[in-house]
Amino acid sequence: MAIDPEELLPRKKAPEILIGQDLSTLSEFELKARIAALKEEVERCEAAILARQSTRSAADAFFKR
């Protein structure tokens, strides 16, 4: 089994996003990257909410028997 050379490289950390951060120092590219990262985080949060709702629904159904 071959090893992918990219697996050996250190992973790039996503830039830390602070809510309320001063945006005046960011370039247009950085602002667009920030928006994309925030959208991904919203999707991740929404998926976590759906998973918890599903778990709660299953538990409610189980205990109502």
- 2-39 confidence digits (pLDDT tens): 777 777 777 666 668 889 999 999 999 999 999 999 99
Provide the 8-state DSSP code for 26: S
Query: Is 47 a residue whose pLDDT tops 80?
Result: yes
pLDDT at 55: 92
Please tell me the predicted confidence (pLDDT) of residue 17.
Answer: 87
In degrees to the nearest 10, what's the CA dihedral of 57, 61, 63, 64? 130
Which ranges of the chain does DSSP label H, i.e. alpha helix?
A: 5-8, 28-63
Higher pLDDT, 60 or 13: 60
- pTM for this predicted structure: 0.64
**Mean predicted confidence (pLDDT) in 34-47:** 96
The span from the CA of 56 to the CA of 52, in Å, is 6
Tell me how long the chain is: 65
Please tell me the total count of domains within the chain.
1
Structural domain harbouring 30: 5-64
Is the distance from CB of 28 to CB of 10 less than 8 angstroms? no
